[in-house]
Structure 1
Amino acid sequence: MKGKEQKVILVCDDEELMRQVAGSILERAGYEVLYAAGGVEADRIYHLHSSDIDLVLMDLSMPGDSGLDAFRRLKSFDAEVRVLFSSGFQDDERLQIALQEGALGFLQKPYTMERMLRMVRKYVRV
């Protein structure tokens, strides 16, 4: 799936534009990007590629399955899953719960390319 040095990031966001923007930034920075439009799709992709995925960038607020729900399922499958949450709502109580349960951090939307890449580089599996 990936070259020896290339890191893989799974971008999970229900908004297609946000997936495209995040993916474009990450691909230009040299990452391989996998895409999921929601939590169930993220589960499927992570199960197929868990050994290759170095970081999951996940929207916290998605219809149906929230990012927290998806994070918990991923965590039950792989206790070492690395998830960085993103949302336009910083005061969402689910964020604090996710951080207490092992999420790595939070990227506030809208974000700049520089801020996003700084956060990704901070948390991507080495």
Structure 2
Amino acid sequence: MFLIVAKYLIPKGYRGVTLFPFVLLKYREDLKDIILINHEKIHLRQQVELLIVPFFIWYLLEYIFRLFQYKSANLAYRNISFEREAYANEKNNKYLARRSFFRFIEYVVLHKK
């Protein structure tokens, strides 16, 4: 994992983006944000499990599906299975050590938030 501060590459409203093997962070102080870093590490694991390119295809297709489902860009983003797993476990620094393979599948279940 390579942490890179890239303020102008991060979309407005976000603090980090993971593009295996890089984690791009918006601000230098984000380098010390252990919750954000853990969230992005979860995305690294997801990307490796799906061999990187299929992860991004799935991510985009699920985002589009959720956009139709929720009719809200923010709700669509928050309900992508990869994001649901990362947000649910970002505060648990031991999560990745115990996480089973393809755990994000458990977060695909359709429901309203």
* Higher helix proportion (structure 1 or 2): 2
Q: Normalising by the residue count of structure 1, what TM-score does the alignment of the two structures yield? A: 0.28
Q: Which has the larger radius of gyration?
A: 2
Q: Normalising by the residue count of structure 2, what TM-score does the alignment of the two structures yield? A: 0.30
> Looking at both structures, which has the greater relative contact order when contacts are Cα pairs under 8 Å and sequence separation is at least 6?
1
